[in-house]
Amino acid sequence: MVGQREFMNPAEVRRSLQYDWDGKDRGQLLELSGQYLELGVTEQVLYVRGEQPQRVGEKFAEALPELRRLQLTPSPHSRAAAAASCASRLGSTQLVPRK
């Protein structure tokens, strides 16, 4: 119909994000990924940096089982706390948690 708006179903929207990891702190990677999951970011692309990208990639591969478990287990953080934490890491206050 002319003039009728079409809206996307928010449950069908896929949220993606790309970020880097230096391979030094596996806990940091797991925490950050969990926070992004809490915000609804299910498609996470990780790129490696540093002088030994192959070694960082290997460390990432070792962390994959734990990262996959994050998708299945609810995080202990509330969505609001995760949003605040991510916003401070990203230097932005524009992140708003899904309800």
- Model confidence, pTM: 0.61
Picking from 90, 83, 93, the residue whose alpha carbon sits closest to that of residue 41 is: 83
CA atoms within 13 A on the CB side of 53: 5
Q: What is the pLDDT of residue 85?
A: 52
Q: What is the pLDDT of residues 63-81, one digit of tens each?
A: 999 998 887 765 555 444 5
Q: What is the pLDDT of residue 28?
A: 92
Q: What integer best gives the mean pLDDT of the chain?
A: 75
Neighbour-count burial of 92, counting CB atoms closer than 10 A to its CB (0-12 exposed, 13-18 middle, 19+ buried): exposed
Give every residue of the chain whose pLDDT is below 50, as ranges.
Answer: 78-80, 82-83, 86-87, 92-99
Q: From CA 98, how far away is CA 37, in angstroms rounded?
A: 11
Q: What is the pLDDT of residue 32?
A: 92
Q: From CA 95, how far away is CA 85, in angstroms rounded?
A: 10
Q: What is the pLDDT of residue 11?
A: 73
